[in-house]
Homo-oligomer: A and B are copies of this chain.
């Protein structure tokens, strides 16, 4: 069958009978959420265990089960490898891995996939694990990728049942309260796993900084936590505090960022109470900076900025340009310190941020957002998951959730990356449908989605370089040779879910090249 975007969705994908994507807001969830397990404890009961192995043993984890993790340490995470290694040593295999996201640091998982310790993955795969899975024939079931909000929804809806949640906690107390914004190696909020902790049969908090009761904020709560394990290290804090979050210095990208900021200013949303999501990519950071400067110049006081938190956003808060930051992740140490100290820097879990199955998520209150893409196409569909060579190398993050919510969603992309065109006839994979994209901002001009004639008029009136997307594409294509394209086989190696649980696209195995 074909979904609403014309993408071919098999009737069955592995053990799954997929619901095809039918439009960004067409699904109406009914019925009830999945019931959470009852838990109890008597006063004085000890939860602290001596090792990961002891916790695995106590949790009842067996082959074939599902284990989950958060990604707040990103490429500095140690826990996923530690736990899977321990399972391998203990003879536990055929595991379904359900992380929020994997990174290059998780490359050792490839061996565990080969030897059957890990047989399924549901979660974003950034880098080598994704490349490995892209080869096909590696997993028992196709991988499943979900947005931040989509993952929260899937757990609450019962689409994924977690047997044991393992939660890396930069600080925890012996009763299982845990936070990511304190401790020896703070990684930012760990509320990504708050939904895991509530739904998992067993929840294991793993910390390198056990402190006396009570540890707060209660990002993970004692009432959800079965066991607490203390280890020497859970992650590399340098991966959080790194200087990777630099504003772009590329003149092309700076030009795109300036255009994006100008588009925001001209959009009609730029007034007191304005709200925006500041991203963490080079162009987004620059655009956020320019928007902040523009707010200051025009004397506009925004309502809120949304993270991932950065020093840049914290500065914007401190300069009084917004009343609050709402944050589910932190991308640098300034943002973490601000979350600890400033009551107007508000911790928000991904359900609050982005859950489709709720009576409102924060992205729906956004005026403007800057998002990236690996490819965009003439229908304004956006790909952030695969490269044009067909390899699955990136997660979804909050892309779908923010694009669906923001009144003005701008995709900020250069028209060429190296010799590869970014605007294509048809994206390799649809992550986010064109219906929720308002404009593509490139160094060659701004293309406005035909659904937004109102916006186009405003941009034209403001003297912005508004052009047809096809025209920008043609101009870029002339500068490079037509790239080769992958030939796909039948095997579905990954399912891309839309944030409502429907299947927006699949990723198939690359079998050739033309």
Which A residues are within 8 Å of any B CB, using their own CB? 25, 27-45, 47, 157, 175-176, 203, 212-214, 216-218, 221-226, 273, 275, 303-304, 324, 326, 340-341, 343, 346, 348, 351-352, 355-362, 364-365, 404-405, 407
Look across to chain B and name the residue whose beta carbon is closest to the beta carbon of A32.
Answer: B35
Counting every copy of the chain, the complex holds 2
Which residues in B have their C-beta under 8 angstroms from that of A405? 43
**CB of A285 to closest CB in B, whole Å:** 23
Which residues in B have their C-beta under 8 angstroms from that of A47? 359-360
**CB of A225 to closest CB in B, whole Å:** 6
Q: A40-B357, A364-B41 are in contact. Are A351 and B223 (CB under 8 A)?
A: yes
Which residues in B have their C-beta under 8 angstroms from that of A176? 359-360
Which residues in B have their C-beta under 8 angstroms from that of A223? 351-352, 355, 358-361
**Distance in angstroms between the alpha carbons of A212 and B365 in the assembled complex:** 11
**CB of A158 to closest CB in B, whole Å:** 9
**Distance in angstroms between the alpha carbons of A30 and B37 in the assembled complex:** 8
The 3 closest A-B CB pairs, nearest first, are A223-B358, A32-B35, A29-B38
Q: A216-B324, A324-B214, A343-B341 are in contact. Are A358 and B303 (CB under 8 A)?
A: no
- Cβ–Cβ contact B36 & A352, under 8 A: no
**Distance in angstroms between the alpha carbons of A76 and B241 in the assembled complex:** 49
- Cβ–Cβ contact A222 & B361, under 8 A: yes
Look across to chain B and name the residue whose beta carbon is closest to the beta carbon of A340.
Answer: B343
Which residues in B have their C-beta under 8 angstroms from that of A218? 346, 348, 352
User: What are 23 inter-chain pairs, A to B, with CB distance below 8 A?
Assistant: A30-B38, A32-B35, A33-B38, A34-B35, A40-B358, A40-B359, A43-B404, A45-B360, A176-B359, A212-B273, A214-B303, A214-B304, A214-B324, A216-B324, A217-B346, A222-B360, A222-B362, A223-B355, A224-B359, A225-B360, A226-B359, A340-B343, A343-B343
- Cβ–Cβ contact A213 & B303, under 8 A: yes
- Cβ–Cβ contact A33 & B35, under 8 A: yes
**CB of A115 to closest CB in B, whole Å:** 34
**CB of A197 to closest CB in B, whole Å:** 10
- Cβ–Cβ contact B41 & A358, under 8 A: yes
**CB of A195 to closest CB in B, whole Å:** 12
Look across to chain B and name the residue whose beta carbon is closest to the beta carbon of A366.
Answer: B43
**Which DSSP category, helix, strand, loop or mixed, fits chain A's interface?**
loop
**CB of A17 to closest CB in B, whole Å:** 20
**Distance in angstroms between the alpha carbons of A208 and B199 in the assembled complex:** 36
Q: A217-B346, A222-B360, A359-B223 are in contact. Are A25 and B42 (CB under 8 A)?
A: yes
Which residues in B have their C-beta under 8 angstroms from that of A40? 27-29, 356-359
Which residues in B have their C-beta under 8 angstroms from that of A25? 42-43
**CB of A365 to closest CB in B, whole Å:** 5
- Cβ–Cβ contact A36 & B33, under 8 A: yes
Look across to chain B and name the residue whose beta carbon is closest to the beta carbon of A216.
Answer: B346
**Distance in angstroms between the alpha carbons of A222 and B346 in the assembled complex:** 15
Look across to chain B and name the residue whose beta carbon is closest to the beta carbon of A226.
Answer: B359
Which residues in B have their C-beta under 8 angstroms from that of A364? 41, 43-44, 175
Look across to chain B and name the residue whose beta carbon is closest to the beta carbon of A34.
Answer: B35
**Distance in angstroms between the alpha carbons of A25 and B352 in the assembled complex:** 35
Look across to chain B and name the residue whose beta carbon is closest to the beta carbon of A223.
Answer: B358
- Cβ–Cβ contact A357 & B38, under 8 A: yes
Q: A32-B35, A32-B36, A352-B218 are in contact. Are A41 and B212 (CB under 8 A)?
A: no
Look across to chain B and name the residue whose beta carbon is closest to the beta carbon of A40.
Answer: B29
Look across to chain B and name the residue whose beta carbon is closest to the beta carbon of A324.
Answer: B214
**Distance in angstroms between the alpha carbons of A352 and B405 in the assembled complex:** 32
**CB of A42 to closest CB in B, whole Å:** 5
**CB of A179 to closest CB in B, whole Å:** 11
Residue of A32, A45, A364 ringed by the most chain B CB atoms within 10 A? A364
**Distance in angstroms between the alpha carbons of A346 and B361 in the assembled complex:** 24
Which residues in B have their C-beta under 8 angstroms from that of A358? 39-41, 222-224
- Cβ–Cβ contact B36 & A360, under 8 A: no
Which residues in B have their C-beta under 8 angstroms from that of A226? 359
- Cβ–Cβ contact A352 & B212, under 8 A: no
**Distance in angstroms between the alpha carbons of A84 and B383 in the assembled complex:** 53
Which residues in B have their C-beta under 8 angstroms from that of A212? 273, 303
Partner of A37, one of B32, B214, B217, B360: B32
Which residues in B have their C-beta under 8 angstroms from that of A41? 358-360, 364
